[in-house]
Structure 1
Amino acid sequence: MTIRSASPRSTRRPAWAGRNYVLLTAATIVTSLGANGALIATTWAVFESGGDAGDVGIVAMARFLPLVLFLLIGGAVADRIPRHRVMVAANTLNFASQAVFAALVLSGTAEIWQMMVLTGLCGAGQAFFNPAAEGMLMSSVSGEQASRAFAFYRMAMHGAGIGGAALGGALVAFVGPGWVLAVDAAAFAVAGGLRAFLDVSGIPERKPGGGLLSDLREGWQEFIGRPWLWSIVAQFSVVVGLIGAVESVYGPLVARDELGGATPWGIALAGYGVGTVAGAVLMTRWKPRRMLLVGTLGVFPIALPSAALAVPLPAIGLTAVMFASGVAMEIFGVSWMTTMHQEIPEEKLSRVSAYDWFGSTALLPLTTALAGPAESAFGRTASLWGAAALMTLVTGLVLLVPDVRNLTRRPHQEAAPVAGGGATLDALPAQAGSADAEGALGRRG
């Protein structure tokens, strides 16, 4: 392996950790600290305003619906104009909406409809941010070490999420949800500033296309022509929808009624974060040859938190289960990201990622909105057991797709320059492969 450094300073970090990679990772650490606490704070803000389980589901739906509606447009836009501009604009919208949300909660005047509008604006921002961010991240690394770069990125993101979840749960209990939402708004402002310095000069210039609809059609053809891609996205449409209902509605309700409040739920979410870090560490060393097969097998334990809440297990048991689920999710996550990096052309990454996000989040508005009515109709315990069973079933079905079982990591022959990286990796020895997508919940701006 030959490493060519642009400056002596670049030798202080791994060759695959270029300037853009470092900026993206730093910005994601900042937003992960705020976002994980904000998820808890939003639920408790609804409770403090007099809302019930149905209101929690409606507010969650208001965030996810714009996310689903605008994702495909966001992906096409991110492949037409510089991705970092899309990311900064989205972060600015997220900052503004969360700042107003925090002010209303702190003043004690927040109403359910206001929460719906503001979380909806935040969801719209994420719809444009997510495809741009995924395309930017994949363009920031190259070579055989891509899976290791993705694993370290996700390890940093989830490590920050551990602190964000634990601190957020504690702050909600001691100072109230409004201050936690204010911290999230500040995090978006800082992250947007960091992303404004991303360097896109090393990314190949995209040729003018035939318009937005033409770009969407091209992305769809790329998506539907790969059975492994659309089958796993269909699987995660169900899995992510159910995870959204469990984490946004049932988890906080079980914590409030059975575990003692926001703090135990924050600790359980932190346990999940610790698990994702442990999984990312594992995936920096382990490169399974059949990436998608190993990743899909890792999805089965993701159903365990639903079962644990159905029992329900005490806080320590729930935290242990969440830890195991985090490890499993990261095995899938790193495997998925490496597969996308290997199989999808760079100039189509954001559009294909948008179809991935769209499919993976398509059921979130429905499942979160129906979580409350399902509890009323079937009971909380039956609803949680049903979610666990359905996640297990769809994961088993996707293993019937030959490409999922057989797609393997290809030996890397030639590495393209790393955009904004300051270093280039020449052809590295072939290794067996591995690496993303928490469907939709683990990749946050």
Structure 2
Amino acid sequence: MSWRADFAVLRHREVRLFLSARFVSLLGSAVGPIALAFAVLDLSDSARTLGLVLASQSVPMVGLMLLGGAIADRLPRRLVLVVAHLVCGTTQATAAVLLLSGQAEIWHLIVLGATNGVATAVSLPALSGILPELVDAAELPQANAASGIARSTGTLLGGAVAGVIVGFIGPAPGLAVDAAAFLLAASLLSRLPLTRLARTSKSLLKDLVEGWSDFIRTRWVVVISLVMFANQFVWVGCWVTLGPVIADESLGRAGWAISNVFLGLGFLTGGFLVLRVKPSHPLRFGILGILLMIPALLCLALAPRLPLVALCALGVGIGFQAISVGVDTALGQHIPLGKLSRISSYVMLATYAAMPLAQLTVGLIDTSPRTVELAAAAAFTTTLLLALCVPSIRNLPRLT
């Protein structure tokens, strides 16, 4: 099959609009956190204050994720996304204006961050249901792979834009860029068709209870949620947190930066690979792909040299795309649209909840970082192999 056929899903105008919106939004979202971090440090010069401001967004995002899934299943998802992006754009624009005018205080950024977190809690589950609404089941794997490529490209370019704008101009213009990106994405999303789903109940509480019941009795969704929790826990704890510590005493800070460039290239490569391969069993393929995290952990523990770490980082990026597209495809093809956002919100909750838990755990462990890497490699390998022993994980097919 040719590359033209692989990208045939882009013939749909709605898919192009959605992918463009994701690209723009994620480009801005890569700039926003960097700009916010330096804005807080300019105001307070306190790491504790920075943590408080960042937590003001992440806590409501995680805490309200399940409610966001229920809302996204009750309302037209396009409407949910447009409103959420407008809210995020407004909060970032307000922060930029306050900083530029010299009126910004920490409590302003906390309130704006919390508002942003609430909007994100609703928008993330809604995003999971858009592509299944726009394309049929057979085209969904290609659509998800194309979305992964747009996501990776936007994030990579956003990091470069952040370096230029925040580094040479300042945090406030960086937040202004993030605001503009959210508002442009809202404009693009507003042009998608307004799809209404039949409501099965009149109560949001009943929707939440039904979502839990559907989640807990769908074994492969429960197992893949545990896999995503473990994946994020190991990623944040061993790569994001301990990786720089090990790099600082081995390959150096420049070497670590180069390794993360290769990680980004892995994300892009993985998107094209999944688009081309079209795995017949998406969850099996995804779990086998994320096994590429293991060599990276072993490399950091035993041989943290730049060529090896960079090569392993490339593999990690490929693996992340494999599991991401695999999970999105499995959910989109096998969960009814009317329940998709609620079920997806549990997978997202497991993924995002792992981040602070990993950081806290790593901070409390009083042992060598390299020892932690080895222990994590053993535990993560065991977790993934046990997941592959579950028939519904191993055998869930891609619908054609």
With the shorter chain as reference, the TM-score category is: 0.7 to 0.9
Q: Specify every segment of 5 or more residues in structure 2 that has no aligned partner in the other structure, as ranges.
A: 1-6
Q: 1:7 — aligned with what?
A: none
1:148-170 Cα distance to aligned partner (Å, 9 max, x none)? 12111211221222211233234
Q: How far did residue 32 of structure 1 move?
A: 1.7
Q: Which moved more, 1:226-235 or 1:296-305?
A: 296-305
Are residues 26 and 256 of structure 1, via their aligned partners in 2, closer, same or farther at CA, if it must alter by over 3 Å?
A: farther
Contact 1:29/1:160, CA 8 A, preserved across alignment: yes
Unaligned 5+ segments in structure 1 are 1-12, 413-445
Q: For residues 105 and 303 of structure 2, what CA distance do their matches in structure 1 show?
A: 31
Deviation at 1:402, TM superposition (A): 2.2
Which is helix-richer, 1 or 2? 2
Distance 1:216 1:15, change over 3 A: same
The 5 Å alignment of 1:319-358 reads 319-358=310-349
CA contact (8 A) 2:131 2:143 kept: no
Worse overlay, 296-305 or 39-48: 39-48
- How far, CA to CA, are the matches of 1:292 and 1:59 in structure 2? 36
Distance 1:89 1:247 in 2: 35
SS in 2 for 1:145: helix
Q: TM-score, normalised by structure 1?
A: 0.76
Q: Does 1:404 align with 2:393?
A: yes
CA contact (8 A) 2:9 2:142 kept: no
Amino acid at match of 1:234: L
Cα deviations by residue, 1:124-151 (Å, 9 ceiling, x for unpaired)? 2111001111111221111422211211
The residue aligned with 1:144 is 138
**Partner of 1:222 in structure 2?**
214
State whether structure 2 residue 354 is matched by structure 1 residue 360. Answer: no
Q: Aligned runs of 1:8-407 on 2, under 5 Å?
A: 14=8, 17-45=11-39, 49-52=44-47, 58-103=52-97, 115-200=109-194, 203=195, 205-245=197-237, 249=241, 268-302=259-293, 313=304, 318-368=309-359, 370=360, 373-374=363-364, 377-378=366-367, 387-407=376-396
Shift of 1:27: 0.5
Q: CA RMSD in A?
A: 3.4
**What letter matches 1:82 in structure 2?**
P
**Secondary structure in structure 2 of the residue aligned to 1:35:** helix
Are the structure 2 counterparts of residues 302 and 291 from structure 1 closer, same or farther at C-alpha, using a change threshold of 3 Å?
A: same
Distance across 1 between alignment mates of 2:45 and 2:270: 39
In structure 2, how many angstroms separate the alpha carbons of the residues matched to 1:188 and 1:348? 27
Aligned residues of 2:73 and 2:197 also touching (Cα < 8 A) = no
Over 3 Å counting, the alpha-carbon distance change for 1:15 and 1:249 in structure 2 is closer
Quick one: structure 1 residues 235 and 339, their matched pair in 2 at CA, closer, same or farther if it must change by over 3 Å?
Answer: same
> For the Cα contact (< 8 Å) 1:43–1:252, is it kept in 2?
no
CA offsets, 1:391-444, max 9 Å, x none?
44432332232211222234x4xxxxxxxxxxxxxxxxxxxxxxxxxxxxxxxx
Q: Which has the higher contact order (CA 8 A, sep 6+)?
A: 1
- Going from structure 1 to structure 2, the CA distance change for 1:264 and 1:101 (only over 3 Å counts) comes to farther
CA drift of 1:365 comes to 3.5
- Residue deviations 1:154-201 (CA, integer Å, cap 9, x gap): 11221222211233234444334443333212211111111122112x
Q: How much does 1:260 deviate? A: 7.5
CA contact 1:249–1:371 (8 Å) conserved in 2: no
TM-score after normalising by structure 2: 0.84
**For residues 303 and 29 of structure 2, what CA distance do their matches in structure 1 show?**
26
Q: How many residues are matched?
A: 393
Structure 1 pair 15–136 and aligned structure 2 pair: CA distance change class (3 A): closer
Q: For the residues of structure 1 that align with 2:302 and 2:86, how far apart are their CA atoms? A: 42
Aligned-partner Cα distance in 2 for 1:234–1:256? 32
2:286/2:323 contact within 8 Å kept = yes
Letter in 2 for 1:239: N
Distance 1:59 1:353 in 2: 27
Corresponding position of 2:3: none
